[in-house]
Structure 1
Amino acid sequence: VCSLNRSYLFLVLAFLFVMNGTQPLTAQQQQLGVHTVVRYDPGTALYIFERRIGDHLIDTPVTMTRKEYMAYRLRKMQVDQFRERNRGNADSSTPSYPTFTISGLRRQEKTPTTLFGPGGVQLSTKGSIDISAGLKRDVTDNPTLPLRARKRNIFNFDQQIQLNLSATVGEKINFNVNYDTEATFDYHSKELKLAYQGDEDQIIRNIEAGNVKMTTSNPLIDGGAALFGIKADLQFGKLQVNTLFSRQQSEVQTIHSSGSRQITPFSFSADNYEENRHFFLSYWFRDNYNHAMSSLPYVESPISITRIEVWVTNRRGDYSQVRNIVALADLGEHRTIHNPRWQPMGAEEIPYNRGNTLYDELTTTYAGIRDIRQGMNLLPGDVVNGTDYEKLENARLLSPAEYSYHPQLGYLSLNMPLQPDEVLAVAFEYSYGGEVYQVGEFSADIGMENSQDALFLKLLKPVSLSPTSPVWDLMMKNIYSLGYGAYNLEADHFRLEITRQSDSAGVYLSYLPGSGIDDELLLRVMQLDRLDERQNPYPDGIFDFLEGYTVDTQQGRIIFPVTEPFGSHLKERIKNETIAARYLFQELYDSTRTVARQLAEKNKYRLSGEYRAASEAVISLNTMNVARGSVKVTAGGITLTEGVDYTVDYLSGSVTILNQSLLDTGTPLSVTLEEQTFSQMQRKTLMGVNLLYNFTHDFSLGATLMHYTEKPMTMKTAFGEEATRNLLWGSNLSWKKESVALTNLLNLLPFTDATTPSQLTAELAFAQMIPGHYSSQHAGGYSYLDDFESTTSVIDLRNPYAWSLAATPIDNSATSLFPEGALTNQIENGKNRALLSWYHIDGIFTRKNSSLTPTHIRNDPDQLSDHRVREIYERELFPERELPYG
């Protein structure tokens, strides 16, 4: 005891004395009035503890300095808290060892109570965490694989976390976190917000960081909803200031609807035709298409297709309806025959199997090619795979629900476009002049007992479709889609306009000046305006809405009645070749779409207009990624209330109008929303400030300034993909006034009994956008059309599976270096072929420092140095090349 500090010993004794007086009083002590009194003596600067009964002192007083008193108070608060907890556990029916939970965790601190209000620190969590783990071992006894690649141990780890965390510090600090690994979109998986809420009389009213949204006082300027950044709300007397600095995660779009039917505008260039989706079944149908459509609404075609089978490359792994096929480009053709080996037959020019000699020779001379695995070498050398024919194992037969076809015009439309490397082939049957004709073979023609034998079909699309392909022109390039949501189109509310950008003024004109046909609209030039509304042959300047011929209402497509509207057809109409050269866009049909799009001097035609789909009270937003709280609906300029006038389905992307009066009166509706993009790679910054000065409770003046910047993902910007830098500013004036006199005046009307005071409201708003674009410090303000960086193709020679024996070149000239190339199905065809071999040797057999290398090889320098088997590193061949990391 003597070693203890004197002041500390005094503090302990004093605490014991005072604590004795803080014990719970018994009933007898309460009747006597025993209590402890603490008073401060300013003369001595000491705290005095006195134990009294009534006004009489019953013990010797104890004194403490300020430092000792503070230590005593801290200790007493801890003891009181422990005693209170023990009393609560003793009084409760639950055990004193409750299940641990973070929910409701609370810590009382003095500093947060002072700065952020009472309440201390509170933490609340909700959610679930599901973790699954496992080990998967794969063993593949494939001798072509290295030893280490035959056995694989894969650790499977999966987690599903749905967590909502809410923390508060006092009454002013709030922190919310939502984390969901199963969210559909990445921007929904992680949401967080840190907020500070000030008092009513403080300058800082609110500060938020994280997922924020901003509203402005100007109805013409939208602050944004899907934002990630910092927002602050300040006040200086009657002036309210809202500031924002954020990264935008959405794009704003507006949809208009007239009454119960949605009006949707569209605009796209002429190169936006539907690729790899619509095909003529034969060149005969393509050659007669313009003539057949020349007398609409009547189709001049003597053919009626009655049956069709469509085969494509099997990408689904479904082998219930599969067959081996050999698809040939010249099958059934009479006039347009690519390979001169096949000659026309018969007097009829219509397509059928014996329209040329190909089918007869296939079924006699080359019948062995039905076995596509062994017999394809029976074909002559000038019949080239990929050009004249395509062989396909296990091709899939499409169901009738996956396509449609026009029986008179003879073209096929797929519900889903083909991939660039997919094959399309058909067999069809039609009636002509009372007779039945067939092109290709149906699956029933070759019974199931011969299911391994290939079917001979008409080729519509090979693996690689290019302008040099004999079936290039069978792909239709005159059908355009109006986009997502364009279904059940209505003729009364459909408008189409065809324009071309002027070479001199740069504006879009609906006619061709100086072409000789400049007195006609392009709509009429393209044969899309030849009838009036009663389908009489009198042009009226309006699109001829003919279901199945010029428009597909179910799928939302525009169909031109000519095969090449901006090419050969336009040349025929202008007639003067010199003038036609200025307006012709023949490359759209003679080249790939990628090449045609790069011809800026030709690619100037545009299709625009609007359509109305049958949507009744539901307005489709054409997207599923709608930022919550960003949808704003106005009717005739009046903002509607969500939940009262309309509801929003953010998952499916639709707005349902609840106010029936809006539908009955046909009030024009406008929907503004923010579409959240799937990829957030491009940086979009939104900054803004909104000022609002309240002169009175009914009168206010506001000003808004917003700055939006996009940063391109690459240093060089491609033409048409320039990043924007826009400045938006505006001001607004608002006045409102309640008027009892107006209510009384309205009550003078018969059957009117208004009790609520009327309100007069006047709003005036102005906004202006100053557009701009991002200027790179490397490329300045320029955009490039082509940087020619993709002109080099890289072929990796290290992949042994990409190697195959090359065919012997065919050269029928007298000076041919390889005359044996003309031989087929003979060993002499490859007599001059060099001896080649390719193989893979596992590196463990030739590495000097590997412990897995067999001893007899590791100790044999000749084997380790043999160029035919040793590893050759890239650094050995290119010592100056900087290798990528890893």
Structure 2
Amino acid sequence: MLLSLTAFAQQQDSSQTNVEHLIEEDTPSLSLDSIVEQHVVYDPNTDTYTIEQRIDGRLIAPPVIMTQEEYRRYRDIVDFQEYIRNRERTRLIIEGADPDLLAGPVQSIKNDRLQRILGSIDIRPSGNLELTLGGNVQRFDNPNLPQRAQVQGGPDFDMNINMNVTGKIGDYLQMSLRYNNQTGFSFDNQVNLQYNGKEDNILRQLEIGNTSFETPTQLITGAQSLFGVKAQLQFGRLTMTNVVSQQRSQKQSIVVEDGAQVQNFEIRADQYEADRHFFLSDFFRNNYERALSQMPNILSQATVEELEVWITNRNNATQNVRDVVAFMDMGEISPYSSDIQAIGNNTVPDNGANDLYSRLTVNVD
């Protein structure tokens, strides 16, 4: 009786080893899944199944013999793995990904201790990662260089990442991540970790990462494209929102009237920078230091009420274009050219300060 029990235990261990070994051998791979042929032969005399694996008709592994119970358990495992693979393949096709990248059975890892502390964990990544590996080799047929220095080379590595991750940890914590290293704007890459408390908690909401600050009134405008920490607290009927962040955006308004863009600029004279801002005439250059000698009072004798700015033809347009000729001495009190004579005792720039304007209007034809 003892011997038969021992033999039965050994048979169970052997059958379990056969099934597990065949499951490992049956796991598909990128290179062998399409060429390995599996043949199953049933022997009615012994009531057993013989499973053989062949490539191009040649046996590549010893045959595995199973009883009906072992074969049934083996088929349950294989069919379940195939069902999971088909579902994942369908999901990849719907999302537009390559279904051929799916290899092997889908596995799920669970940590009961971690789930008891944080609750249910649901993290769903998506996207793609492209790696380009190569090499560059250059040869210089220069007799002045040593033979070893005539051949130079190095690796060429490039990586493109487009990743989206959404997750939920427990009932209160949510996370989202969006990253693309080929985006043209930095604000397209977003990362946000959000905690939502209960209605009776003091800490109602906590956000870390990309956030925004909205106000319920239009008198005080909020801010967008912030990166930092935002906390919303409540004390009875009092609600408090605190933000400590860095603003990564600028607000600008553009007005279009009658098909033309109108935009107001305000440039203070004390914001002058060398080789960046330019004086309109020698009068402003000569009186610049004196006009700003008693700041904040500006001692200026002239006020510019209207100014026309002409933009060059950047798009090589040929229709509705106008040619512009600019004269450096136009309106100058002390002309630079000796051919232009000053007229009168003008103290500020004017078209009648010299004879250039009158000569142009007389010879307009």
* TM-score, normalised via structure 1 length: 0.23
Q: Which has the higher contact order (CA 8 A, sep 6+)?
A: 1
- More helix per residue: 1 or 2? 2
